[in-house]
Structures are given as structure tokens and as C-alpha cells.
């Protein structure tokens, strides 16, 4: 019941999370055909995906201003803008055009993502309870459904243009209901109190590790199954779908666990399980074995990112909360950008199996950051 009540309290941002999940689930399931469409090898495709980072970085500074200016209309307008660029990857027939499309997708996806996370943080402060995991679970649900349906569409012969057109329409329909009143900001207090950058950077780094692990499976799981393990298109699409399904389960469970266990415990146990899952995926000899590894990654890493964002929202002053969550989220989103690119370099040099071993090692950085943050909590907490 705690999950249902959490979703009832945050129903509008939950729909926004579904908008983002719908696009990225479909994108992940189409990576093999999109990559072939621009004639890129693993290394070049990883470089192309760095275009997303250019868009994301700009959201750190521009979105808080956009959010304060548009207020209640910021979230629906961000959703409609995101729908407008969702067709970009389908139109891009060359590497430079695909890079430009990813810049636009990165910015518009990041804009909606930052605003919806800020809204959830505001609701957490207003109602005094954890809501992040339930909302991030809705991203995972939409991601998994979108990935599965995209795989079915690919098997039926649908082209990327047809698939992304459906995705864009769905995002438009969902965006219509996203208008939500926002908490007023005390501008005098915001200017008088120093922005809590150390807290934002530490929490953002925890989120970055979680999203880095998640993004590697999103971007490379379908290719790992189809190329390394010889799977069909539907089997390849089921790789990111397994991640989405297990992350939804992990985040719904994390919603209940966050009300009973410490944030530190959730981070340590979750990243440990994710690291084991990455090693299983690296050693896989069949698609089924890879699914087991992806599932363990999903279950383990699911709650880590939302917990990191919840921590920063709780530790900063109210007048800095939106900007702090926005900037921690953008730092975290860099994991979605860096993972495909860096893993592309690793895969191009020594293979996809080695890339998943590298992910297992990266996952273990989050517990170290959590230990440090807990040991210095009084130093980094700014909440009155």
C-alpha cells in the first residue's frame, strides 16, 4: 500500500517519468539497427552518444531558470518539447546528424528529467515521506514495456521512423496532464545562503555511478545478446526489457525498504548485487544467462539513484532544493552519457565482455561515497 499511496501523492511527476522511460526503452531496443543505419563501429557509436552529454550539461544551468520562469507549466512544456525531438534519431542517416539528434534528445530529456525529479523532491518535503523510488519505478515500467513492444515491432518489420512516431505521440498524450503547482521559493534566502555544492557533488556522484551501471545495460545489452551470443532481434530487445522489469521491481521494493532501512544499507547491498550481475552478464554463454545477469543488475542498482537524489533533497535548505536536485540529477545523468561512450571504447578495444567486467568494478564506487557522506553528515547537511 505504501507504493500505491506514494504514486497517488506524486501522480503527475510519475507520468513524466513514464514519458522518459517510453523513449529510452524504445531507443535501447533499437540500438543495433540505429548503429547499423549510420555505419558506425562500437567506438564511433560511443562517441556519437556523447552528443547527449552536451545537451545534458546545459540543463544544469538553464533548467532551474526555465522552471522558475514557467512554474506550473514547466513540466508539460518540457514533455511536449521532448516529444518534438523524439523523431530525431530516426531521421539521422549519417553519424554527424545522429550526433546532433542526440544533443537535442539529451537536452530535452534532461530538461523533463530535472523538473520531474525536483517536483518529487518538493512533494517529499511537503508530505514528509520517501517518494523517489516509486516514481523511478514508473520510468522502469514504461522502459520495459516500450523495449518489449519495440522488439515485437522490429520482428514485424517496422522501421525506426514508424516506431519513434508512435513514441512521440504517446509522449504528447501523457504530457497534457503534467501541469502541477510548484512550491514558492524565498528569493532573499536563496541569495543569502551559499549554494551547497559539496553536498550536491557527493550525492550526484552516487547517482552517477548508479545511472552509469544502468546505462551500460540499456545501451549495450541488446548488442551483447545479438552479436556476442547470436540472439535474434526480439531476444536482443528482451535484454533491456529484463533490466526495466527488474528495476521496476527493485524500485517498488525500494519504496518500502526506504521507509524501513537506512539509505546507506540500500546503497551497499544494491551495488553489491549489481556488481555480481555484471560479472554474470560478462561470462554469459547464452541469452538466458545474460538475462539473469541483467536482472541482478536491475534489482541491485534500482534504488541507488533515487536514494541519492532523495538524500540531496533532504540535506539542503528549501530555497536551494530545486536547483540542488536539478544539479545532482544532471551529474547523475552524466552516467547515462559516459557509460555508452566509455563502454564503447572498452568494447572496441577488448570486447563487450570486458565492458561488463568494468561495470562490475564501477558499481563498487557508490558504497565508498556513501560511507564518506555518512561519516561527514554534519559537515554536508544544510537543512534547517
- Domain residue limits, the chain: 2-380
Torsion of CA 82, 169, 298, 157, to 10 degrees: -120
Q: Write down the residue that cell numbers 520531474 correspond to.
A: 116
Q: Write down the residue that cell numbers 551500460 correspond to.
A: 216
Assigned CATH for 2-380: 1.20.1250.20
Torsion of CA 221, 222, 224, 226, to 10 degrees: 160
Q: How many CB atoms lie within 10 A of CB 288?
A: 12
Specify the pLDDT at position 175.
Answer: 95
* Cα-to-chain-centroid distance, residue 282: 22
Specify the pLDDT at position 280.
Answer: 95
Per the CB < 8 A criterion, the answer to whether 140 and 248 are in contact is yes
Specify the pLDDT at position 35.
Answer: 86
Q: What interhelical angle do 263-283 and 352-363 show, nearest 10?
A: 160
- pLDDT per residue of the chain (384 residues) written in tens, 0 to 9: 477 788 888 889 999 999 999 999 899 888 888 888 888 887 788 778 778 777 877 776 677 777 777 888 989 999 999 999 999 998 887 888 999 999 999 889 988 988 898 888 888 878 878 788 889 889 888 988 998 899 899 988 899 999 999 999 999 999 999 998 777 666 666 666 787 888 899 999 999 999 999 888 877 788 889 888 888 877 887 888 888 789 888 888 877 777 777 888 899 999 999 999 999 999 999 999 999 999 999 999 988 988 898 888 888 887 777 778 878 888 887 787 777 777 777 877 887 888 899 999 999 999 999 988 888 776 666 655
CA distance 74 to 61: 15
pTM equals 0.76
Specify the pLDDT at position 234.
Answer: 78
User: What does the DSSP assignment read for 251-299?
Assistant: HHHHHHHTTTS-HHHHHHHHHHHHHHHHHHHHH-SSHHHHHHHHHHHHH
Amino acid at each position: 500500500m505504501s507504493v500505491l499511496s506514494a504514486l497517488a501523492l506524486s501522480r503527475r511527476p510519475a507520468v513524466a517519468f513514464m514519458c522518459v522511460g517510453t523513449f529510452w526503452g524504445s531507443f535501447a531496443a533499437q540500438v543495433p539497427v540505429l548503429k547499423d543505419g549510420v555505419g558506425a563501429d562500437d567506438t564511433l557509436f560511443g562517441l556519437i552518444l556523447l552528443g547527449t552529454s552536451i545537451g545534458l550539461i546545459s540543463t544544469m544551468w538553464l533548467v532551474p531558470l526555465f522552471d522558475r520562469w514557467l512554474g506550473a507549466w514547466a513540466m508539460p512544456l518540457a514533455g511536449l518539447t521532448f516529444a518534438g525531438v523524439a523523431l530525431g534519431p530516426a531521421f539521422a542517416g549519417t553519424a554527424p546528424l545522429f550526433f546532433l539528434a542526440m544533443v537535442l534528445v539529451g537536452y530535452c530529456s534532461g530538461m523533463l528529467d530535472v523538473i520531474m525529479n525536483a517536483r518529487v523532491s518538493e512533494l517529499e518535503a511537503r508530505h514528509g515521506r520517501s517518494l523517489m523510488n516509486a516514481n523511478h519505478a514508473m520510468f522502469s515500467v514504461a522502459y520495459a514495456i516500450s523495449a518489449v513492444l519495440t522488439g515485437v515491432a522490429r520482428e514485424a518489420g517496422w522501421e525506426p521512423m514508424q516506431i519513434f512516431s508512435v513514441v512521440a505521440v504517446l509522449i504528447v498524450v501523457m504530457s497534457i496532464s503534467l501541469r502541477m503547482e510548484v512550491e514558492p521559493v524565498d528569493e532573499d534566502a536563496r541569495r543569502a545562503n551559499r549554494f551547497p555544492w559539496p553536498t550536491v557533488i557527493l550525492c550526484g556522484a552516487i547517482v552517477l555511478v548508479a545511472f552509469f551501471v544502468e546505462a551500460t545495460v540499456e545501451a549495450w545489452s541488446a548488442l551483447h545478446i545479438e552479436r556476442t551470443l547470436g540472439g535474434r532481434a526480439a531476444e536482443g530487445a528482451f535484454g533491456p526489457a529484463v533490466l526495466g522489469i527488474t528495476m521496476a521491481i527493485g524500485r517498488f521494493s525500494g519504496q518500502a525498504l526506504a521507509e524501513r532501512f537506512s539509505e546507506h544499507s540500500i546503497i551497499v547491498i544494491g551495488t553489491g548485487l549489481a556488481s555480481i550481475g555484471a560479472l554474470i552478464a560478462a561470462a554469459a554463454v547464452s541469452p538466458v544467462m545474460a538475462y539473469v545477469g541483467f536482472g541482478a543488475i536491475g534489482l541491485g542498482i534500482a534504488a541507488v539513484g533515487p536514494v541519492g537524489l532523495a538524500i540531496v533533497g533532504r540535506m539542503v535548505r528549501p530555497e536551494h532544493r530545486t536547483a540542488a536536485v536539478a544539479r545532482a540529477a544532471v551529474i547523475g545523468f552524466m552516467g547515462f552519457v559516459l557509460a555508452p561512450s566509455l563502454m564503447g571504447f572498452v568494447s572496441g578495444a577488448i570486447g563487450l565482455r570486458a565492458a561488463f567486467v568494468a561495470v562490475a568494478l564501477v558499481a563498487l564506487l557508490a558504497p565508498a561515497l556513501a560511507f564518506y557522506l555518512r561519516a561527514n553528515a554534519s559537515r554536508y547537511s544544510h537543512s534547517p
